[in-house]
Amino acid sequence: MEIGQDALQTLSAVLREGTFEAAATVLHITPSAVSQRIKALERSVGRVLVRRTKPVRATRDGEVLVRLAEQWELLVTEAGQELAGSADGPPGTDRPLVHLPIAANADSLATWLLPALADFHRNHAAAVEVRRDDESRNSEYLRTGEVLGALTSIPDRIRGCRVQPLGSMRYLPVATPDFLATWMPDGPTDAALARAPMMLFDRSDQLQRDVLRILTDTPGDPPGVYIPGSVEYHRAIELGMGWGAAPTVQIAGALADGRLVRFTDRHVDVPLYWQYWTVSSPLLTALTDYIADAAATHLDPVGHLSPQARAPR
């Protein structure tokens, strides 16, 4: 089996761009040459690597080689830095930055993750790209090789990756005092929860619906207010648009000064894991350390998870 760098780069371009024609434009070759490279690579490994759909999709065997292509590019770039004597120390204008794509959920990005990434940037010649999505999509990004690490809520190891437990984010059901006086004067009764406006992140926000189910045996179908942004979601609750479950790390100040009220002792804990490529990359190792250190400061230990553990926003 022979796998050349040109073939790997072509496979990566086809899957990134979605069509053979678009990949040909990026690679400055003809679509026929792209097709020939993919066919030759498939013959070499004895596997079908792509599904010829629109957009083109990788097979499971293709995903393995896409990860190899991205890992190769990362290692080559880091090796270039070392040969140029610029691998160590903080970044400067004369140093190339290594592209590091990762995936994260919105609430982590809005609370504890961004400062960790900023610290990493100040000390390493790298440019992080964050893809924000839920945990199921984050796992798919890892499988297809589009990111080198991802925050997920499942401990199951993805092929070719390591898993590091980070901790858990606790979500508390909260609302403003005025909202509670209007919509829940007798507390979170079944009748009140059935009619009170409920904040949701988007149409796929299962966490909020899970919270509703632990609060009432007859959840019904309360009116939903959709705010698809972590900071904006929190602010909408503070403005009295509805009640919602928000991370403790995000609402501690609002709870302390009475802008928000926790109206039940129930909560949902969301486990977070950092999954990342099994590749010997100094930058990836450093990024993992920064993320783990920040999580240890801001998240609860994974061992303290409640039975109500769900996927993060």
Tell me: the pLDDT tens digits for 210-262?
999 999 988 888 999 999 999 999 999 999 999 999 999 999 999 999 999 99
DSSP three-state, residue 277: strand
Q: In this predicted structure, what is the pLDDT of residue 62?
A: 84
Q: In this predicted structure, what is the pLDDT of residue 44?
A: 87
Q: In this predicted structure, what is the pLDDT of residue 313?
A: 64
Q: pLDDT grade, residue 305 (50/70/90)? A: very low
Do 1-88 and 97-313 have matching folds? no
Q: In this predicted structure, what is the pLDDT of residue 241?
A: 98
Q: In this predicted structure, what is the pLDDT of residue 135?
A: 58
Determine the CATH number of domain 1-88. 1.10.10.10
SS (H, E, C) 95-133: CCCEEEEEEECHHHHHHHHHHHHHHHHHHCCEEEEEEEC
DSSP three-state, residue 236: helix
Q: In this predicted structure, what is the pLDDT of residue 309?
A: 42
Alpha carbons 131 and 105: distance in angstroms, whole number: 8
Class of CATH domain 97-313: alpha beta
Average pLDDT estimate for 63-83? 74
Q: Choose the weakest-confidence range: 47-61, 123-137, 299-313.
A: 299-313
Phi, psi (degrees; rounded to nearest 5) at 36: -65, -40
Q: pLDDT grade, residue 104 (50/70/90)? A: very high
Domain definitions of the chain by residue range: 1-88, 97-313
Give yes or no for residue 1 having a pLDDT over 80. no
Beta strand 126-132 with 98-104 is parallel
Please tell me which residue, 285 or 135, carries the higher pLDDT value.
285
Please list the residues that pair with 277 across neighbouring strands: 161
Average pLDDT estimate for 71-76? 75
Q: In this predicted structure, what is the pLDDT of residue 218?
A: 87
Whole-number percent of the chain with pLDDT over 70: 88
Beta carbons of 103 and 150 less than 8 angstroms apart: yes
Q: In this predicted structure, what is the pLDDT of residue 307?
A: 38
